Amino acid sequence: MTAQALADLSRRQPGLRLLTEAGDLEHYGRDWTRRWTPAPLAVALPASIEEVQGVVQWANEHKIAIVPSGGRTGLSGGAVAAHGELVLSLSRMNRVLGFDAVDRTLTVQPGIALEAVHEAARAHGLIYPVDFAARGSCSIGGNIATNAGGIRVIRHGNTREWIAGLKVVAGNGDLLHLNRGLIKNSSGYDLRQLMIGSEGTLGIVVEATLRLTDPPPVSQVMLLALPDMDALMQVFALFRARLSLQAFEFFTDVALKHVLAHGAQRAIDGEHPYYVVTEFDAPDEGARDAAMAAFEQGMERGLISDGVIAQSDAQAAALWRLREGITESLAAHKPYKNDIAVRIGAVPAFLQDIQALLWREYPHIEVVWFGHIGDGNLHINVLKPDGLSDADFIAQCDRVTKLLADTLHRHGGSISAEHGIGLVKRAYLESTRSAAEIALMRGVKAVFDPNGILNPGKLFI
């Protein structure tokens, strides 16, 4: 029956590119989680909105599930196709469609890489400010599907703040034009915002209009070494009070060890348990003097052990590599990842609780911490020990994640900050959302995707 269905799809859309080779199915059927064996039916690579609509209409008729696919850099299993789904890859829809100088918007297709968006914005003297380490491989459509955040949320917010309009193919095949680039629009429900962060379960983004903004002032990057965890939020408060921060990122000595082993260069001598990379506006001597004053005050109060400030763009990039290179440096260790968030004000108490939890539950397992301390988003990476089977390792981590979810619930936090729920975190959704909220979310899903063909099994159990 599936062979007949694929033959019908090819007959309807003779120009649609379809892949069925084993290597292609494996490549397009997984994301960075690497926990599920990919087993898609086939991979469709549409080149137009009309082809996307045609695939969705075909899928409804044949009751075949679709997994929308972008750069597949997610960490929650949201782009995994392990049960005979059709992967709908948007990688061929990767062009800039237009620039509006008056509205200062850039209209793009969903498969365009974030880095290409940055380059297109710079060509017009503007910036698209959402940024993170996977910029070269992640896609705008995937960023929208997970409401991606990144390293500059403290200044610019998440992806949803920068989406002026969307074209979306809903689960029933309808093409929706959402918000149309308007700044003010109070004409009913904002379905654009509903689509952002919906993980491809309501519709498939086929075009996005992005807001752009002015480039930031000249900035400087500083690396700080801290003596203990208690200093983290105190240093953040100290620097935020004196400087206009663009980013404030932390990582541990364990994370540094892996990045150095992966080829980065040490910037501060000695061993320190915690580090911060911060970037701040430095348009004049006054701002630079304020930064040095904050650093000196931190040293005097025993909050900062050492530090270095970049003297060139190359040095700034080298300092940023110590933070941005962490995920890549851990990939070979098959880490079990937690991507969590609490209010900034709740971070100190939460850090104390979570550190005690991890020390107690993972006494002989290496745990790597890093994250966006300035917006309350922490990443916990548990590394699989040699000699422990994948199944036993995941079972142990799942048990601890349940405890982590309970801790997050007590602190009013979220089990997913910027990678979505996907397959990995479905069991813990209720720690973040109430039963009433989840029921309404299921109802919304049923309206946009009445046959349940879009990314089934993701988000909800």
Burial (Cβ within 10 Å: 0-12, 13-18, ≥19) of residue 152? buried
Instruction: Name the strand (E) or helix (H) holding 60.
Output: helix 49-62
| DSSP helix/strand/coil, 219 | strand
Q: What distance lies between CA 188 and its chain's CA centroid?
A: 29
Phi, psi of 84 (to 5 degrees): 75, 20
Predicted TM-score of the model (pTM): 0.93
CA atoms within 13 A on the CB side of 104: 12
Query: Would you state the pLDDT for residue 94?
Result: 98
Query: How far, in Å, CA of 449 to CA of 203, rounded?
Result: 8
Query: Would you state the pLDDT for residue 1?
Result: 67
Neighbours of 209 (CB within 10 A): 23
Helix ranges restricted to H, 228-336: 231-242, 253-261, 285-300, 313-324, 326-330
Report in angstroms the alpha-carbon separations of 452 from 30, 98, 194, 448, 449: 21, 33, 17, 9, 5
Residue type, 91: S
pLDDT tens over the chain, length 461 residues:
688 999 999 999 999 999 999 999 999 999 888 889 999 999 999 999 999 999 999 999 999 999 999 999 888 999 999 999 999 999 999 999 999 999 999 999 999 999 999 999 999 999 999 998 889 999 999 999 999 998 899 999 999 999 999 999 999 999 999 999 999 999 999 999 999 999 999 999 999 999 999 999 999 999 999 999 999 999 999 999 999 999 999 999 999 999 999 999 999 999 999 999 999 999 999 999 999 999 999 999 999 999 999 999 999 999 999 999 999 999 888 899 999 999 999 998 999 999 999 999 999 999 999 989 888 999 999 999 988 999 999 999 999 999 999 999 999 999 998 889 999 999 999 999 999 999 999 999 999 999 999 999 999 98
Is the backbone of residue 200 left (phi > 0), alpha (psi -120 to 50) or beta?
A: left
User: In sequence order, what are the residues at sequence separation of 6 or more whose Cβ sits closer than 8 angstroms to the Cβ of residue 272?
Assistant: 225, 226, 227, 253, 305, 306
Starting from the edge strand earliest in sequence, which strands make up the sheet with 377-382, in order? 306-309, 219-226, 274-281, 245-252, 367-372, 377-382, 336-341
Burial (Cβ within 10 Å: 0-12, 13-18, ≥19) of residue 346? middle
Query: How far, in Å, CA of 200 to CA of 67, rounded?
Result: 8
Instruction: Name the strand (E) or helix (H) holding 390.
Output: helix 390-410
